[in-house]
Amino acid sequence: MKYMLFRSSVFLSLIAFFPSCVWGLDSTANFLMDDNGRLLVLQIEGKGRRFTLSRGFPFIDKTRVLKVIDLHSGSEVKTYLPTVPGLMDNAYSLDGRHIVCNINASAESSAKGFTHELTVWDIKSGREEIFRGKGSSAGGWGPETSGVSADRKWILAKDHYKATLYSLQDDKQKSLKDGAEIFSARFSPTGSLYAYFRRNELVIGEPSTGEFQRIPLDPNGNRYSGISLSWSPSGQYISGILLSKTATGATGSGAIGLWDSKGNLVKIINPEVSVYPEWAPVWSLDENTISLVYLARYKENFEVHEIQVKSFSLSGTLLNQ
């Protein structure tokens, strides 16, 4: 194995050569940091639509396989085949040990209309939890996956221009419809708070009380739209990927925002990297760094850039697969 180290006044870049492994936007759902500090890829095999003509046209009735792959070595760590029939369209890490998957129900289970199922998969034990009808519809900006609290008390599901908060303690639900599409609903590690992006705002709420606040993404008036977010392991911070917008509304470059759990903006930076907006930032276990992953040139290699949280400065780390 060969390593090449380059230094510059802007950042430190480490280029490592690993066994060849081809990645793609159409198959990579997200990334996670496990308990051992490994950066892992969540890859949905055969991601995309498959149709069958056996019971009429068209029905989606193919279950996708989720593979957990070591980013550095390219080796497969685990494979998950849901028992729920349907099309798996997205997945994310709940806590580094569990994966939340969104599944559009198949023709076999949707005689009364398509439903959106939710599963939580334990990577180590292989145990699967199924939450019927509590998945998110794939309207708007790509597929969305419901937010699940780590204690399994709450689920926050997106359905086009509204969100539904499910209480698994008393089987009650509440609509959070406010006329705007939401993105990346996620609960804090303790489950006491949830957060999501709403247009140019960050929304932070308490599921137990129903109280919430809307925070402008940038108090200086810059036009940003939030796409994906992640909580730090302690729940002290929220990081998110933002897209800037021009005066005409056209989408511009990506930015990274950092807030505390009360909604106070720490800083927004504009790294000179082409971040993929649907891949949420990945926190290290000690909360010292945030990793941003995106595909390198020709869409064959991943690049990982680390943000130092204390100084919130960029130190570029390039992992070339």
Contacts of 39 (CB under 8 A, 6+ apart): 31, 32, 33, 70, 71, 72, 282, 291, 293, 304
Residue 55 zone, left/alpha/beta (φ > 0; ψ -120 to 50; rest): alpha
Cα–Cα distance for residue pair 186/28, rounded to 1 Å: 19
Render pLDDT for 122-159 as a digit per residue (tens, 0 to 9). Answer: 999 999 999 999 998 865 555 789 999 999 999 999 87
Contact between 196 and 177 (Cβ < 8 Å): no
What are the pLDDT digits (tens) for 152-186? 999 999 877 778 899 999 988 888 766 567 899 99
DSSP helix/strand/coil, 302: strand
| Structure-token pair, residue 29 | 């759902």
Q: What is the pTM of this model?
A: 0.82
Return d(Cα 40, Cα 33) in angstroms, integer: 6
